[in-house]
Amino acid sequence: MDWFYNIFPIERFTDIFSTEIGYGNKLVFTEFNFWLFFILVLVIFSFLRKNKLARSVFLTIVSLYIYFKTSGLFLLVLLISIIVNYFFGRRIFAARSDLRRKWIIAFSAIFNLLILGYFKYAIFFTESFNEVFHTNYESVNHFIQYGQAWVGEEWFAKPAPSLASQFILPVGVSFFTFQNISYTVDIYRKEITPVKNFFHYTFFVSFFPQLVMGPIVRARDFIPQISQPFVLKRDDFSWSIIQIVKGLVKKIVIADFLVVHFINRITEDPSAYPGFVSVLAMWAYSLHIYADFSGYTDIAIGLSRLMGFELKENFNSPYKAINVADFWRRWHKSLGSWLRDYLYIPLGGNRGGSIGSYIAILIIFVFLIFITGWYDLLYVYAGLTVLYIIGLFVFKDFKRYVHRDLNLLITMVIGGLWHGASENFVIWGAMNGCALIIYKYWKQISPYENKSNFFVHFWKIFITFNFITFTRIWFKLEDDGLPNVMLNQMWNHFNLTWETFVTILTTYQAVFWVMLGGFFIHWLPEKFKKMYERWFTRMPLTLQAISVAVIIVLMYQAISSEAPPFVYLMF
């Protein structure tokens, strides 16, 4: 039995069920402890699967415990958010007048945005205020301060080595806040009715596979599944295993390997390398962030299906996109659809503008001046306002087109801010917004829009991929001045010679093989991917188990000692 204790030492179970929290004790998908815990959960779940309330209560307890292991007493923020939104939803539905319903939905939105704003942006705003007005206010997270005073520091999550900001906000706050907002808004719009059972609602929000990194789940898609009987066919089981293994391979073999052995080395000091190496690093980063984030959602979708619940697809081969609009239909689909339904369309969408459009653009302008300190932007805004007024008198339908474009730009900038309070995220969002606007006009005159021969298709994909990769310079490099350093290297110090190219190729040979393999698999036609899924599901279960075991053993040989966390944990 020595082999058993070597693989399953008692310390593992002690770590799983201890109250110690923080980065080293998380139950995350890439940790062996999580899978031991999940097997135990499945065993207990198998006895409760026919009782709908019992399984909701059990999975809620499991989800809250996993979140506690990740975030400590930030669990209270999640619980408060769930409780308040549950009662907001019931009050909106019970309100007899439209005015009362509007007041309640307004308070609901303010409550949710205050949670998101305080934990994600308050410290940033304090530091920006100090810089602009030369004050010296201290950046303090009062929730942590008072919590540590009452119960001790050990009850709050310690930061991950590469995610120091994790210390100041609850993990997944952006995701569960958006999920709560969509629930109350859908009730206000009379698209759904409130959840009657509190445990069902708690389960909907806290369901652990998707809680901290999505996909963002809509109440109308998930809640009806709670009252349905548990069903798991053999093909569904095999398909779930494929998703889980595929997600782990993406994360461990591709994403982690690239970021540890290449990307971070270049992006930490771009000036130390020739400019063409920065280009290679950003190509690698595009593959890394896709493999990291889609890997997580693949695992989340597979785990959910094993428990009888279906989550919607979040990625659809985004680097096969032939234009920027196509890319954003394929990338992080749950966030894109959320922003469309709860921001872009309410602002007026393609139809025109609203008072919300003007308020939003004013807030964004003030915010940009505030975070950048570029007061010359006032002249830019004044000039744009003059051009807007002139356009109203000169061009037909000018107002409608400007409002449509403003709504799109506002949506993308807010999408950037959703990732974090930084001018780099604003620039990233604005660049994608401007690209979407330009494409709307270009497609009307482009001679290639409806052509699909190989060379045209290739260049569409090539240009789209490289534009998206270029914008990610501002997404990846957190320090405000670092993107300019990388851009300067690319432009003034490209230095692509045969000798330096061979040196880089030799030094990072394994990295480039991983990149080549990752892109090759990504760009395979969809029919080939469906083919191997069908091939696996038709295999006998014994062969499936052996295949998975071999893949896992080989995969875990690639684990780096640094074991970087999932990228979107910081959002």
pLDDT digits (tens, 9 = 90+) for 273-320: 888 999 999 999 999 999 999 999 999 999 999 999 999 989 999 999
Q: Residues 382-394: what's their mean pLDDT?
A: 74
- Per-state percent for the chain, helix, strand, coil, to nearest 5: 75, 0, 25
Instruction: Assess whether pLDDT exceeds 90 at residue 165.
Output: no
Q: How far apart are CA 395 and CA 434, in angstroms?
A: 21
Pull the structure tokens for residue 497: 């010679």
Q: Would the pTM of this model clear 0.75, i.e. be above it?
A: yes
**pLDDT surpasses 90 at 393:** no
What is the token pair recorded at 422?
């930084």
Most confident of 144-158, 315-329, 368-382: 315-329
Picking from 99, 97, 122, 105, the residue whose alpha carbon sits closest to that of residue 180 is: 105
Answer yes or no: are the C-beta atoms of 245 and 552 closer than 8 Å. Answer: yes
Name the token pair of 50: 């026919």
When pLDDT is averaged across residues 319-328 and rounded to a whole number, the result is 94
DSSP letter string, 487-518: HHHHHH-----HHHHHHHHHHTHHHHHHHHHH
User: What pLDDT does residue 164 have?
Assistant: 41
**Rounded to whole angstroms, what are the CA distances from 221 to 445, 486, 515?**
39, 43, 36
Name the residue among 398, 331, 383 with its Cα closest to residue 568.
331
Residues 39-70 pLDDT 10s: 999 999 999 988 888 999 999 999 999 888 88
Average pLDDT score over the chain? 83
Lowest mean pLDDT among 223-227, 346-350, 370-374, 422-426: 370-374
pLDDT of residue 281: 92
Distance between CA atoms of 513 and 524, rounded to whole angstroms? 17
Measured in whole angstroms, how far is the alpha carbon of residue 399 from the centre of its chain?
Answer: 34
